[in-house]
Structure formats: C-alpha cells, structure tokens
Chain A
Amino acid sequence: MLYANADNDTPHDMPESTVWAEKRDLIDRIPRPISILILGLILVGTWHLVSTTGIVSSIILPSPGQTWHEIITVGTNLLSGGYMFPAIWITTQEVLIGFLLASIIGVSLGILVGETTFGERAVMPYLVAIDTMPKIAFAPLFVAWLGFGISSKVALATFVSVFPILVGTAAGLHAADRNALNLFRTMSASRWQTLVQLKIPSGLPHIFTGLKIASLSVMAGAITAEFLGGGKGFGELIRVAASQLNTARVFALILYLSLLGLSLFAMVSFAQQRLIFWQRNSTRPD
C-alpha cells in the first residue's frame, strides 16, 4: 500500500462531533414575502400617522384610507366603462403606437449605426447630439406641429423612447462573439448572412434591454404630452384632479397608469423570454 491508513493511527484524541452552527444576523434571515410585508406596513403606517395627525395638510398628502377609496372609485369607473375608460384607452393607444414606432425606428437606425461605418461615423454623432437634449422640452413643438390630437402625444412618446432601443441595437450588433464572427468569415458568409444569422440573434439581449427601458419611458412621454397638449387621455384626468386639489385621485390615477406601464414591460419581458430561449436554462452537464 502506498499510503498509511489514517484511521489506525490518529495522533491525538478526537471529539465525537465538531458540528457548529453557521450564524446569520436576523435582518438577513427574514423570508422575502415577510420582508416585503414588514416594509410595506412600516411605510403605510408612517404615511397614515403623518396624514392623520395633521402635521401635513390632507390636501397635500391624503391619508391611505382616502387614497384607497379613490383607487376603488377609479377602478369601478374603469371596469364599468365610465368616463375614465375612454381616457385610459386613448393613453394606451398613444403608448402602444409610440412604442411600436420607437421599436421600428430604433432598430432600423440602430442597424444603420451598428452595422455600417458610415452610420457609425456620420449618423451616430447627430443622434448623440439629439439624445443629449432634454427631449421633454420638445413637447410644445410637437403640439404646434401635430395639433392637440393623439398624434402629438404619440410623437413625443416615440421621441423619448427611441434612443434606448437605438443604442441597444447598435451595441448588440457589436456584441457578437469574435470567434463566431471569424467562423462566419471562414465560411465566406455574406454581410447580410452575418447580420441576420449571427449579429442580430447575438444582439437580442442588448436590443431587449433597450426595449425594456423604452417601454418604461414611453409612458412618461405620452403623459407629458397630455399635460402640455391637452386632449382626452389619462394625463388630462390627472391634470384636472390636481387642479381641483384632489390629491387622493391623483395618487389613484397614477397607480393605474403604473399598472398600464407594468403590463407593457411584462409583455416585452415575456417576448424576450420567448425569443431568447437559449438564455433561460443554460445547464451544462459535464
């Protein structure tokens, strides 16, 4: 035998067991649902205290109860097809059309910038220059150009959300694996084949990052345009409620807008999971 059997000649007395408890602090041990619940209760409790003790006027900060009441009122109105329903439908249309346009324009320009040297050298500097401008400030211009209807809102929504998609696409085209690019070269693949069969699929994670950011900012664009350009959307309801000092109503309306934004974000995430299926479960058994 090459090695001595360690069992037979233990050099000193061994205790029966050296099991020990691995300690973690209490704050790191709270399960997720309970953590969320605790913080939520703390926040709502503080809110309730601040608003009911009269430290802050209820016009400035309504109580959680008042806000809840308004959430129910607005929800009932929406579900029963009351006057708020056409408003949220208009805003939904603005957001969806704006997002669709931003996606088409963003991906197209992103390919131009990311794939061609001309795009990178000539188009990109102009786009960066426009991107650094405060885009919301263009709202009055869009209203002046396109009027008080839905199109001026769509235009601003598109304008504020197109850049993340564009940048994501351009970055995505540069994200293709060097070895894979080499492989396509050795296979004598055409530029178009390399773009469609390698660079775009490789870039999808970046493109979707852009789409997700855009799906959140597109709503801000639409609502800003509604504040400034009137119309019959949800932003107008908020503006009216705020002018009547009905703060609880404003809170409730914002909540429903967030739900709308969240569903767009969820749809994009779902599409991402579907399309980039190879990134979901990369198990590599050896």
Chain B
Amino acid sequence: MMHQAKMTEGALAPPVYTLRKVSKFFARQKVVALDNVDLVLRKGSFSSVIGPSGCGKSTLLKIMAGLTSPSEGAVVLAGEPVMGTRRDIGMMYQQATLLPWLTTIDNILLPIGIADGKAAARGKRPDAEALMSLVGLKGFENAWPSELSGGMAQRAAICRMLITEPAVLLLDEPFSALDELVRDFMNMELQRICMEQDATTFLVTHSIPEAVILSDTIYVMGTRPGRIIEAVTIDLPRPRTLDMLTIERFGEIVAYVRRLLGEGMH
C-alpha cells in the first residue's frame, strides 16, 4: 500500500462513529448495494468517500444518517446503536434547502424548534448568532433566504447543521452546486470550521481533488458489489491551503486515488 496509516503524536483519537460488517441488499432487484463495509471515524477527523455512480455511497450515507436500516452489520455512533434518525447526526446536502418563509436565523434554529419547541429555539438564539459569525454570516440574521447567494445559503446550512451540536457531520456533496471558485473557498472555510469545532466529519464527493485537500482518510469505493476498496490516508500537513493543490505530493495522491477508482470500476 502506498500510503501507510499515519500515527500522529502517540495515541489515535477515540472512535466516534463505527460501522462493522455493514451490508445492504435490495431483494427485489437482487442487488448487493453495500458489501461488508467496515469504517471508523475518529474524533476530530475528516473522512471522505469517493466512488463511481452505483457504488453505494448514497446507501452508505442513508444508513449512517439513520434513514434506512442495514441488512446486516452494526452501526454505532457515540456508543449508541443507530436505529433511526438522531439529533446528534448533522446533515448537509447539495442544496441548502432553507425554508423561504423563515428568516436566515429562524432557518438555523429550525432543528431546535422541531425537537424542543419554539421556546427552546428562542433560548438558543445567541448560539445561532455565534455560529453565524463563525461562518461569516454576521449581520444576515434577519435576511430572507432569497437574499442570500448560493455560498451564503450553504453557510447558513452549516449553521443549521451545527446548532444541535451533533457528534458527527455527514456532508453529501455540499458545495457541488456552487461554481468552482466559490467551491474552493468554501472548502477552506469548511476545514477552518471543522478544525475550530473539532468536528468529526464524513464527506461524500465526486471530486478527487476536493477529497484529497480536505481529508485525513479517503474511502475509495467500487461497484458490483458496492464496497470499500481501500482507505487512503492523506499525509499532507494541516491546515491545508489552496496552494497545496499545485504541489507534487498532492498530484501523486490524486493520481493514486484515480488509479484505484479505475480498478474498482470492473
């Protein structure tokens, strides 16, 4: 293996999210969507999953979000089995999906309102304001979603994800609808926010460079059956910068991941 697991400063961080021998079958179509997936997300780590269409990325993410049950195997978050949706799972999608009839801050407080009621949401307002300044949205508390740009809307979605203080962040191609310049910038912002929050993050993406620049570990998936081919450890130092996109080491890792993806397509 080209990239050995990096043992940084002594002991590894404790595992937050663990999947053991997780499989998913769709009996009607006689398809093995996921075959025997093992995965460990450690506290404060950033992991990505990358793979061709039909490799089971979405199924994996749905299982991790508690939206669907695995056919076999065990899924444990923060010591508790995941058997349904949970408030300590934060999610973010390609679309910001802000409700247009709520102001930006009310959108951010929506998960609190749903879980604990309107009074609790009002009580969390200072937290929401703090998150908004963390992501650079200060001053837009009472703006309507229609007044936000695509990048700003995704910043608000980050706040909405963080407001419940989730144990794990699941990101489903969060910036792929943004143009490339904004996307690069937002990725660096995401890194900064994740480092400041010591967040345990799991990203689904189609972009190899994006996965490499952001991740400590990339899970490369293959098709038929959907499975993890290899967990690639990225040894670029942190914090990563956009300048790293041009260095030789970065290019080597991208090429290596691309080769793995090619092999997994058979």
Contact with B147, one of A185, A198, A283 (Cβ below 8 angstroms): A283
Task: Check if A273 is an interface residue, CB within 8 A of chain B.
Answer: no
Nearest CB in chain A: distance from B93 CB, A: 6
Contact with A193, one of B87, B89, B93, B114 (Cβ below 8 angstroms): B114
Which one of A29-37, A71-79, A175-183 contacts B? A175-183
Residues of A near B84 (CB, < 8 A) are 188
Nearest CB in chain A: distance from B132 CB, A: 18
Task: Check if B234 is an interface residue, CB within 8 A of chain A.
Answer: no
Nearest CB in chain B: distance from A207 CB, A: 14
Of residues 167 to 207 in A, which have CB atoms within 8 Å of B's CB atoms?
A: 177, 179-180, 182-189, 193, 197-198, 201
**If the complex has contacts A285-B149, A286-B149, A286-B150, are A187 and B97 also in contact, measured as CB distance less than 8 A?**
no
**Is B101 a contact of A278 with CB atoms below 8 Å?**
yes
**Is B91 a contact of A186 with CB atoms below 8 Å?**
yes
Nearest CB in chain A: distance from B34 CB, A: 19
Residues of A near B85 (CB, < 8 A) are 185-188
**Is B147 a contact of A188 with CB atoms below 8 Å?**
no
Report how far A182 CA is from B99 CA in the complex, Å.
Answer: 13
Report how far A193 CA is from B87 CA in the complex, Å.
Answer: 16
Task: Check if A80 is an interface residue, CB within 8 A of chain B.
Answer: no
Task: Check if A281 is an interface residue, CB within 8 A of chain B.
Answer: yes
**Is B146 a contact of A282 with CB atoms below 8 Å?**
yes
Residues of A near B147 (CB, < 8 A) are 283-285
**Is A188 a contact of B87 with CB atoms below 8 Å?**
yes
Name the residue of chain A whose CB is nearest to the CB of B86: A188
The count of residues in chain B whose C-beta lies closer than 8 Å to any C-beta of chain A is: 27
**Is A182 a contact of B93 with CB atoms below 8 Å?**
yes
Of residues 245 to 286 in A, which have CB atoms within 8 Å of B's CB atoms?
A: 277-279, 281-286
Report how far A185 CA is from B87 CA in the complex, Å.
Answer: 11
Report how far A278 CA is from B103 CA in the complex, Å.
Answer: 10
Report how far A63 CA is from B65 CA in the complex, Å.
Answer: 74
**Is A188 a contact of B114 with CB atoms below 8 Å?**
yes
Report how far A180 CA is from B101 CA in the complex, Å.
Answer: 13
Name the residue of chain A whose CB is nearest to the CB of B110: A187
The count of residues in chain A whose C-beta lies closer than 8 Å to any C-beta of chain B is: 24
- Cβ contacts A79-90/B at 8 Å (1 or 0 each): 000000000000
Task: Check if B176 is an interface residue, CB within 8 A of chain A.
Answer: no
Report how far A286 CA is from B148 CA in the complex, Å.
Answer: 8
Interface centre among B65, B85, B114 (most CB of A within 10 A): B114
Task: Check if B95 is an interface residue, CB within 8 A of chain A.
Answer: yes
- Cβ contacts B186-227/A at 8 Å (1 or 0 each): 000000000000000000000000000000000000000000
**Is A180 a contact of B99 with CB atoms below 8 Å?**
yes
Nearest CB in chain A: distance from B63 CB, A: 13
Residues of A near B67 (CB, < 8 A) are 182, 185-186
Report how far A187 CA is from B99 CA in the complex, Å.
Answer: 14
Report how far A198 CA is from B95 CA in the complex, Å.
Answer: 16
**Is A201 a contact of B97 with CB atoms below 8 Å?**
no
Name the residue of chain B whose CB is nearest to the CB of A201: B101
Name the residue of chain A whose CB is nearest to the CB of B148: A284
Name the residue of chain A whose CB is nearest to the CB of B95: A179
**Is B115 a contact of A187 with CB atoms below 8 Å?**
yes
Report how far A193 CA is from B115 CA in the complex, Å.
Answer: 10
Report how far A188 CA is from B144 CA in the complex, Å.
Answer: 25
**Is A183 a contact of B97 with CB atoms below 8 Å?**
yes
**Is A278 a contact of B144 with CB atoms below 8 Å?**
yes
Report how far A59 CA is from B101 CA in the complex, Å.
Answer: 56
Name the residue of chain A whose CB is nearest to the CB of B164: A187
Contact with B87, one of A177, A182, A187, A282 (Cβ below 8 angstroms): A187
Task: Check if B111 is an interface residue, CB within 8 A of chain A.
Answer: yes
Interface centre among A184, A188, A193, A283 (most CB of B within 10 A): A188
Interface centre among B86, B99, B111 (most CB of A within 10 A): B99
Contact with B146, one of A180, A184, A193, A281 (Cβ below 8 angstroms): A281
Residues of A near B262 (CB, < 8 A) are none
Report how far A13 CA is from B50 CA in the complex, Å.
Answer: 56
Name the residue of chain A whose CB is nearest to the CB of B89: A186
Nearest CB in chain B: distance from A83 CB, A: 48
- Cβ contacts B125-147/A at 8 Å (1 or 0 each): 00000000000000000001111
Report how far A183 CA is from B102 CA in the complex, Å.
Answer: 15
Task: Check if B100 is an interface residue, CB within 8 A of chain A.
Answer: yes
Nearest CB in chain A: distance from B194 CB, A: 19
Footprint of A on B, CB under 8 Å? 65-67, 84-87, 89, 91, 93-95, 97, 99-101, 110-111, 114-115, 144-150
Footprint of B on A, CB under 8 Å? 177, 179-180, 182-189, 193, 197-198, 201, 277-279, 281-286
7 cross-chain CB contacts under 8 A: A177-B97, A182-B67, A183-B93, A185-B67, A193-B114, A282-B100, A285-B149
